[in-house]
Structures are given as C-alpha cells and as structure tokens.
Amino acid sequence: MTTATTDTIAPTPTPARHLWRQSRGPLLALLLLVVTGVTLATLQSGEQHGRLDPRSADRTGSRALAQLLSAQGVTTQVVTTSEEAAAAAGPGTTLLVTDPDVLTTRQLTGLRTATAHTSGRIVLLAPGPTTLDAFAPHIKAASETGNTARSPACSLPAARRAGDALLGGLRYLAPDGPADRCYLSGDLPTLLRLPAHDTSRDTVLLGSPDFLYNHHLAERGNASLALQLLGAHKHLIWYLPSVSDPASAQDDQRGFLDLIPVGWGWGLLQLAFAAAFAALWRARRLGPLVHERLPVTVPAAETTEGHARLYEQANARDRAAAVLRAATRTRLAPLIGVPPAHAHTPDILLPAVHAHLTTAPVAEAGLHALLFGPAPADDKALVQLADQLDELEISIVSQERHAPREHPDR
C-alpha cells in the first residue's frame, strides 16, 4: 500500500498565471521572429529600391553612370519588359540585363532570338545556370567569391585601360577557346567576354554588379570599366526585369527551388542539418522516472486508480500483472519468514508459501503459475489473477493471526 505525500508545498498558481508561464517562451520567440522579419523586410525594401536603376540616385542606383554615359553621347533607354527589350535591341546597340535570372526560359529564348543576328553587345549581370543555357550553353557558373579590388590580368583593352576594379560574385568556367577572362579569382574569371561567331554582337558576363552602383562608381577603375563596357555603342538598352512582367505569366510557373539564388541551396541544406542536430540536442531524453514532490497531497487510492487507468488505456496487462504479483510477493515474504532480498526468488519463496498453506494445500506448480506465471490473455483473466492473489494473501494472513503462540512464562 503506497502512502500519501504529506510534504507541505506552496499552493499552485492560478490558471491564468500558469498559462502565461507555459506560453510566454513561445510567444516571445514568435514576437522576436515577427519583429526580425519586419525589420529585414524594411531594410531589404530600402536597399532594393531603385537598385541598378539609371534614374535612381540611391546608393545602389546607377544614375551617376547614366549621366556619364550621356555626357559621352550614349543614349540610355530604360525598358521593363522582355518584349520592349527584344524590340529595342536593334543593330549597333548594347543590351544590359540587370537581373537575368528572374526571367523565364521563354523570355530568355526570345531575347536570344531577337539579338542573334544583329551587331552590338549583350551585358548580363550575375547570370546563373538558366541564363547561361540560353546565351552561352558552353559556360558554367562556379561558386561565388567576395567583391574586392582585382587587377585585370587579361588582354581585354577595356579592362587594361580601367585597371583595378571592384569585381567578384559568380565566377565562370569556360572551355578553351577565344574568350577574354578578366579579374580572376582562383584562376576563374569574374568578367568573361565571349566574342560573336556569326555576328559582331559579343556577350559580356559580369559576376557582380557592385561596381555599377552610385556609391562605388568613383572607386579605382570602376567608372572607366563601366563606361567602356556599356558605352561601346551609341545606344544602350537598360533592361530592368521584373516578376510582374506580363510575359512571365505566359510561361510555366517556376517552382520554389528555381527562385533560390545560385549557391543558396547548400546554405539551406546546412541550416536544415543544423536545425535537426539542435532538435536532437535539445529534445527530451528518455530515462528513468524522476520522483518529484507533489504540490498538493494526493490520496494513495487516487494515485493507484490513476496508474490503473493508464495501464487500461495502454492495454498493458503484462505490466499490471507484474505489479500485482510483485506486490503480493513483497507482502508475503515477511509473513512466511523469507528475507526481503529473496522475496522474488521462486526457489526460496514458493516452498515457504506452500509450507504455510496447511489449511488449503496448493501444488507448487500452481503457486508458480500464480506468483511467477505469464501475463493474462485478456482483462477477464487479469481480474481473476487479482482475485486469486488476494485469496492467497488472505489465507496466509488469517493463518498467521490464528496461529498458537507460547506464553512467555512457559
């Protein structure tokens, strides 16, 4: 028989306070996540406003470059749709695509077809694999590198005249052939010029557009390199792609993974592994039960009934039978003179029990099945086992109570 806990503990908090204590951690984490998301969205929105727009005077705009080009007699036409860009990219023009990776395959193919047989230049800023498949199938994009001042290290006249410039970002792997590989990082160029084969329209791949920004244009040879690359012809088509372009809705919908920038896939995979390891590290470990003092006094009968209901819900007849048999053996051992250490040893306990059953002798085989037998097959058998254990214990207790005792004076 288990006894009730009698320790005096402070009263439990009110339901409202308990609910607050349980939920304040997740609520604070959710609030922090929302504030962080809003802050990052605000900062990103501020940074991307007018990015590479020749009409924008923001730090990441390109108004300064457009004014320098205008001073040299280069006219700049800003377009925002692929149809406008294809129609304007006539002979003797330079087509600058500021964000080619947001274009669909159909849009890229249309631009490539419109410029395939006309003279001029195509400048692509940080083109990824999809863009390269359309404009330069034999070129592969390698891993990114940091933006820093680099020397030309090539024979391209525009790069040699400009000297050191802020280049970096994507690097490109080109097979052996006629190409200008400039501003190397790890033997791979961050500026790659591909000459035209059947026309006079060449293609320039730039790993990063940072040197075109207003706040970087005056550094080192950035302005010189930008003017020579974009001012090679008298008319410049400045194409600012947008996901709201009606032409993009005519193509197949791009999946979520297609919208992830190059190189971010490995980063997301690393974050997923880190989250999994953190979950394993912080997860509750399975181990032995920890005895805790209850905040209130719980009657032993309620505790026993609660355990019984748990066994019933889990259909744990084997555990319930084992508990009943172990409790019976523990209570019988001192009554029949068996030490507590041997209360669960059949070879010692069963002969002693059999010897004390003088009024109702039971075979040792039956006692073994009763005290050490297998788990009951159903609930009815479990109830029958409990009744038989009670009868056995009552019979031994009654014999001990009525056993004759010798008077101490005799």
Rounded Cα distance between 338 and 355, Å, is 12
Asked if 322 contacts 338 with a C-beta cutoff of 8 angstroms, the reply is no
**Residue 196 confidence class, pLDDT cut points 50, 70, 90:** confident
Rounded Cα distance between 312 and 382, Å, is 11
Asked if 193 contacts 155 with a C-beta cutoff of 8 angstroms, the reply is no
Q: What is the pLDDT of residue 257?
A: 63
| Cα dihedral across residues 393, 395, 396, 401: positive or negative | positive
Q: What is the pLDDT of residue 208?
A: 94
**Residue 118 confidence class, pLDDT cut points 50, 70, 90:** confident
Chain segment 20-56, per-residue pLDDT in tens: 777 777 788 888 878 877 776 665 544 445 889 999 9
Q: What is the pLDDT of residue 69?
A: 95
- Higher pLDDT pick, 115 / 94: 94
Rounded Cα distance between 67 and 236, Å, is 12
- β-pair partners for 185: 188
As a residue count, the chain comes to 410
Write the single-letter amino acid at 397: V
Chain segment 46-87, per-residue pLDDT in tens: 444 588 999 999 999 999 999 999 999 999 999 999 899 999
Q: What is the pLDDT of residue 253?
A: 57
Q: What's the token pair of residue 84?
A: 């406008």
With a cut of 60, say whether residue 360 has pLDDT above it.
no
**Residue 212 confidence class, pLDDT cut points 50, 70, 90:** very high
Write down the CATH number for the domain with range 49-244. Answer: 3.40.50
With a cut of 90, say whether residue 204 has pLDDT above it.
yes
Q: What is the pLDDT of residue 199?
A: 65
**What are the C-alpha distances in Å from 124 to residues 37, 127, 263, 336, 360?**
31, 6, 18, 95, 101
Domain residue spans of the chain: 49-244, 302-402
Asked if 26 contacts 34 with a C-beta cutoff of 8 angstroms, the reply is no
Asked if 163 contacts 174 with a C-beta cutoff of 8 angstroms, the reply is no
Chain segment 260-310, per-residue pLDDT in tens: 665 667 777 888 888 888 888 777 666 666 777 767 777 888 888 888 888
Name residues whose C-beta falls within 8 Å of residue 298's C-beta, 6 or more positions apart in sequence: 4, 5
Name residues whose C-beta falls within 8 Å of residue 30's C-beta, 6 or more positions apart in sequence: none
